[in-house]
Chains A and B, each alone.
Chain A
């Protein structure tokens, strides 16, 4: 049930907002905030993770990460569930989409915007670019 919900949720929410794209930034921070990028990278490499595992891996203190985690869940980038172990409660986080899915969506979005701006000229450059590689 939860996976069905996630799929619907992810499908109706864009992974990346176009107005957040900033090509002068480094790496993933072109598309996400630095903390968001660190969390997503950790989740993509580690799969399911608890809050303490996340803070350890990203090396960002919980006080700065907590608000971002709430935002990532609300925006549909990650999903989380509450686990109850030995009378203790904890969150387990999961990426809502894989790195490949994110790459596909971001690439499509940017190519779309290039075609929108330059039309056939953009297409010509795409083929030149793929020939060069």
Chain B
């Protein structure tokens, strides 16, 4: 069955049933919500509209599925697969991103080389610290893990490292407070408040480790904190 014939078939089936206006309404609302999520500027509204559009299209597909009497329903299967896969991606896979990073970077627990780091981070947030083999000074947070490169460890002194760790710990705190929103923000490209987050993380780091340590760490390695 060709695609156009299939869509026509779905149309006919819907016309014959009593629920056609209901499903049409669902589809119209979900498409307009999707359009709204692309147009809206505020990240939070963008997310809410995107999620509602996703849920409504799932309901519309389920209802159509229920009403259908046609034979093959390839279009519907594709739609259903899209909705299910994107939902699983949002709520499932990205949760284990730090596990993937540990494997890919061959990262090792930092407790093995500098014990104080894990204790220091442990006071701020429930997270583990890992180091990885690279001379380029870098630090970043993913999931419930903070990653620092050996290049960063050899370049910064203890206070500067504390500032970096506090900065990343704040990111983890933020991530765990609204993990799904953050992930959805990634999917919908609405993380426009990036600089605001970095600013807040820096303020927290200055509170914990002192603004001198933070600014000297910043001077030593520009563009390290991600």
User: B-contacting residues of A (Cβ < 8 Å)?
Assistant: 51, 62-63, 65-67, 69-70, 82, 84, 87-91
Contact status B136-A70, CB under 8 Å:
yes
**Given A82-B113, A84-B113, A89-B114, residue A67 in contact with residue B150 (CB < 8 A):** no
Question: A66–B151 contact, CB under 8 A?
Answer: yes
Q: 23 A–B contact pairs at CB < 8 A?
A: A51-B135, A62-B137, A62-B155, A65-B135, A69-B135, A70-B135, A70-B136, A82-B133, A82-B150, A84-B113, A87-B114, A87-B116, A88-B153, A89-B114, A89-B131, A89-B150, A89-B153, A89-B154, A90-B154, A91-B135, A91-B150, A91-B151, A91-B154
CA–CA, A69 to B116, complex, Å? 28
Q: Do residues A89 and B136 form an inter-chain contact, with CB atoms below 8 A? A: no
Q: CB-nearest residue of chain A relative to B154?
A: A90
Provide the bound-state CA to CA distance between A87 and B158, in Å.
Answer: 10
B75 at the interface (CB under 8 A from A): no
A89-B153, A89-B154, A91-B154 are contacts. A66–B113 as well, Cβ < 8 Å?
no
> Shortest beta-carbon distance, A88 to chain B, in Å?
7
Q: How far is the CB of A61 from chain B (nearest CB, A)?
A: 11
A41 to B134, CA, bound (A): 21
Which residues from A are CB-within-8-Å of B153? 88-89
What is the 8 Å Cβ interface bit string for chain B, positions 171-187, against chain A (1 contact, 0 not)? Answer: 00000000000000000
Contact B134 A70 (CB under 8 A): yes
> Given that A89-B154, A91-B154 are known contacts, is A66 also in contact with B135, CB under 8 Å in the complex?
yes
Which A residues touch B155, using CB under 8 A? 62
B137 A66 Cβ-Cβ under 8 A = yes
Return the 9 tightest CB-CB contacts between A and B, nearest first.
Answer: A69-B135, A66-B135, A89-B153, A66-B136, A90-B154, A70-B135, A89-B113, A84-B113, A66-B151
Binary flags per residue of B143-166, CB closer than 8 Å to A gives 1, else 0 = 000000011011100000000000
**Which A residues are in CB contact (< 8 Å) with B133?**
82
Are B114 and A67 in touch, CB under 8 angstroms? no
A65 contact set on B, CB distance < 8 A: 135
The CA-CA distance from A110 to B5 in the complex, in Å, is 66
When C-beta atoms are compared, the residue in chain A nearest to B222 turns out to be A63
Interface residues of B in 100-116 (CB under 8 A from A): 113-114, 116
Per-residue interface assignment for chain B, residues 196 to 213, with 1 indicating a CB less than 8 Å from any chain A CB and 0 otherwise? 000000000000000000
A18 vs B3: C-alpha distance when bound (angstroms): 53
